[in-house]
Amino acid sequence: MFKIFIYIVFLNLFVSALYAMEYKKLEPFPLNNLTYEEEKVIIHKGTERPFSGKYNKHHKEGVYTCKRCDAPLYNSNSKFESSCGWPSFDDEIKGAIKRNPDPDGYRVEILCAKCDAHLGHVFEGERFTEKNVRHCVNSISLDFKEAKEKVTEKKAYFAGGCFWGVEYHFEKLEGVKSVVSGFMGGHIQNPSYRDVVRGKSGHLEVVEVRYDSLKVSFETLAKLFFEIHDPTQKNGQGPDIGSQYLSAIFTSDAKEKETIYKLVGVLNQKGLDIATKIYETKTFYKAEEYHQDYYEKTGKKPYCHSYKKLF
C-alpha cells in the first residue's frame, strides 16, 4: 500500500512538472515585474501626472524601451520638446508600436507591439515637427538605454548662397573641425559645378560642417548661419541669383528641426520674414578641389557674406 502511495505522489509531481514546462513553452517572452503605480498605467491604461515623469526633460542619446518587456520603442533622435508634460516623439522604431482606437471614441491609443503595454496616445496635425506626429508617452511606461559610445563628431549642412563665403565663416568657429563645399538636394548623381551652376540639377551649393558636439552645439552653428547671410532674400544671395544659391538648412533629426523652428520664430518676432527652407539631409556631393578653401587659397575676402549679429 505504501508503494502505491509513493507511486501516486511521484506521478502527481511528474504531471505537475509537465504542466510547468508546457506553461513556459506557451509564454512567448519574459515580462518584468511591475510596481503598483506602473501597473495602473501599463496594464490598466492610466495616465501619470503631467510634468512628473523622469523622461519628460531628458536629452541623453540612446534608446527608449518598454518597461514591461524591454522591447526597443523609440530612438532618442526622434524625441522633441512639446511642453505638453509628457515625453514626445515624432517617430517610432519600425514595427515597435501598435495603434488602437481609444475607448473614449476620439483618441488613438499606442501600445508596445510586443507585449501590449499601454504607452499613451498619438496625435497628428499639431505641426510640432515636420513629420506632424506626436507620440505622447508616459515616462512610467519606459526605460532608457544610454548609448555606450558617445559620438561627439557630427555633421551639419547649410546652404546660404555661394559656398565659398559660408565655408569661410564656419571655418573660424571654435569646435568646427572641417568645412567642405559641395552640393545637395538635387536629382543628379555626382554633379559637377557646371551641372549645378546651370540651375537645372535641383542641387544647392551647400557646406558640410564637421564639428565636435562637446565644444559647439548645432544651435550655435545655426545661429552663425543666419548671421552670415541674408536669410530674407528669396531669389539667391547677394548678387548670386538662382535656385542653386537659395537659403536652406538640411537637417538630420527632429532635434535639429526643432532648433531651426525655434530660431526662425525668434527672427520672425524681430520682424524678419525668413525665406530659409528646411529640408531633410540627402546625399552630399563634394565640389571640385579648386572650390575648397577658396578664400584661403586666393587671399580674397567674401563678396556677399558678412557677419551681422541677430541673436
CATH number of the domain that residue 189 is part of = 3.30.1060.10
Say whether both 103 and 163 belong to one domain.
Answer: no
Residues 159 and 294 in one domain: yes
Query: So what's the pLDDT on residue 200?
Result: 86
Is the distance from CB of 257 to CB of 129 less than 8 angstroms?
Answer: yes
281: in domain: yes
Residue 28, in any domain of the structure: no
* Residue 162 appears among annotated catalytic residues: yes
Q: 117, 146, 175 — which closes off a domain?
A: 146
Q: What is the pLDDT of residue 40?
A: 96
Tell whether 174 and 264 lie within a shared domain: yes
The residues that bridge with 120 in the sheet, in sequence order, are: 110, 137
In angstroms, the Cα distances linking 234 to 82, 166, 304 are: 30, 17, 15
- Kindly state the cell numbers that stand for 215: 565644444
Per the structure, the count of domains in the chain is: 2
7 found inside a domain: no
Same-domain check for residues 202 and 139: no
Whether residue 265 sits in one domain with residue 136: no
- What are the angstrom distances between the C-alpha of 266 and each of 85, 178, 220, 250, 256? 23, 28, 14, 19, 16
Q: Is 27 part of a structural domain of the chain?
A: no
Domain boundary pick from 113, 146, 179: 146
Q: Is residue 208 part of a domain?
A: yes
Does any domain span residue 8? no
Query: Residues 66, 112, 136, 304: which is the catalytic one?
Result: 136
Q: Are residues 220 and 254 in the same domain?
A: yes
Evaluate whether residue 31 is within a structural domain: no
Q: Which residues contact 275 (CB under 8 A, 6 or more apart)?
A: 231, 232, 233, 234, 246, 247
Domain harbouring 96, CATH code:
2.170.150.20
Domain ends where: 146, 174, 207?
146
Side-chain-facing half-sphere of 54: CA atoms under 13 Å = 7
Residue 115 bears catalytic tag:
no
- What pLDDT score was predicted for residue 84? 95
One digit per residue, pLDDT tens: the chain, 311 residues?
545 444 444 444 444 444 344 433 334 557 888 899 999 999 999 999 999 999 999 999 899 999 999 999 999 999 999 999 999 999 999 999 999 999 888 999 999 999 999 999 999 999 999 899 999 999 999 999 988 766 678 999 999 999 999 999 999 999 999 999 999 999 998 899 999 998 889 999 999 999 999 899 999 999 999 999 999 999 999 899 999 999 999 999 899 999 999 999 999 999 999 999 999 999 899 999 999 998 888 888 888 898 999 99
Q: Alpha-carbon distance 32 to 34, whole Å?
A: 6
Q: Which of 104, 131, 125, 97 is nearest to 45 (CA)?
A: 104
Q: pTM for this one?
A: 0.54
d(CA 74, CA 120): 13
Enclosing domain of residue 53:
36-146
Do 50 and 84 contact (CB within 8 A), yes or no? yes
166 with 282, same domain?
yes
pLDDT of residue 9: 40
CA–CA separation, 71 and 56 (whole Å): 20
Q: What is the DSSP string of 244-299?
A: GG-EEEEESSHHHHHHHHHHHHHHHHTT-----EEEE----EEPPGGGTTHHHHH-
DSSP state for residue 139 in the 8-state scheme: G
Q: Does one domain contain both 178 and 123?
A: no
Residue 241 resides in a domain:
yes
pLDDT of residue 147: 84
Q: Do residues 194 and 284 both lie within one domain?
A: yes
Contacts of 304 (CB under 8 A, 6+ apart): 161, 162, 165, 229, 237, 238, 239, 240
Same domain assignment for residues 83 and 187: no
pLDDT of residue 16: 44
- Is 162 in the same domain as 278? yes
Query: For residue 27, what pLDDT is reported?
Result: 43
Give the SS3 label for residue 208: strand
* Cα–Cα distance list, 127 to 34, 39, 131, 261, 268 (Å): 35, 32, 8, 11, 17
Catalytic residue among 66, 112, 162, 304: 162
Same domain for 138 and 179?
Answer: no
